Structure 1
């Protein structure tokens, strides 16, 4: 390889590396802006809270997994301290879990999204600042 070929190949590789490094993360996946938090509840169950953007809104998914089917839980989604939605859900037979999905307004600045579920004194609570 002569010197000009070596320099040309080096510049081409540097250009390719710069292009790959400049590609936005969302170009490949679509869920790259998702924030997921998980934790344990007060008496054995686990919670998961996911928040991501979707068509200018925030998609919120709250999940409780107790590994026990047929349990009824009361749940609440709060957005910046205000109740966005609430309801009840029952864990399903196969997984012993339930999931709640809602879309909420994406306010200017940081959005504090909280998911809370309660059953027989057991409390599950997760927060995502998005």
Structure 2
């Protein structure tokens, strides 16, 4: 290009985003984090709250496991059709475990909702695996 053309084009400056643009960016990031948090950490409903207030019996939980879970997760929860549940309480929170059992969210897991005491028993058994 000729010097004349270059001299007629003003030198561009990089402008930083305005404060409003920064606030919009932050708002979008906060919204995304909130949605992810809600998906990862489901809100406790009354059922979940009640289960978490109870102290379960792992022996009774084992019986519930045998009746409802053994076909897919194996006799000792090592996984068969379904995944291994060994150390599952280290991978998933109690709320998430309850949600998984009740919702059956991961196909082909069937959903079932035992009464709160039975769920507390099952949860206490799963924590001992």
Query: After TM superposition, is the score higher than 0.5?
Result: no
Q: Greater Rg, structure 1 or structure 2? A: 2
Q: TM-score, normalised by structure 2?
A: 0.30
Q: Which has the higher strand share?
A: 1
Q: Which has the higher helix share?
A: 2
Higher relative contact order (CA 8 A, sep 6+): 2
Q: TM-score, normalised by structure 1?
A: 0.30
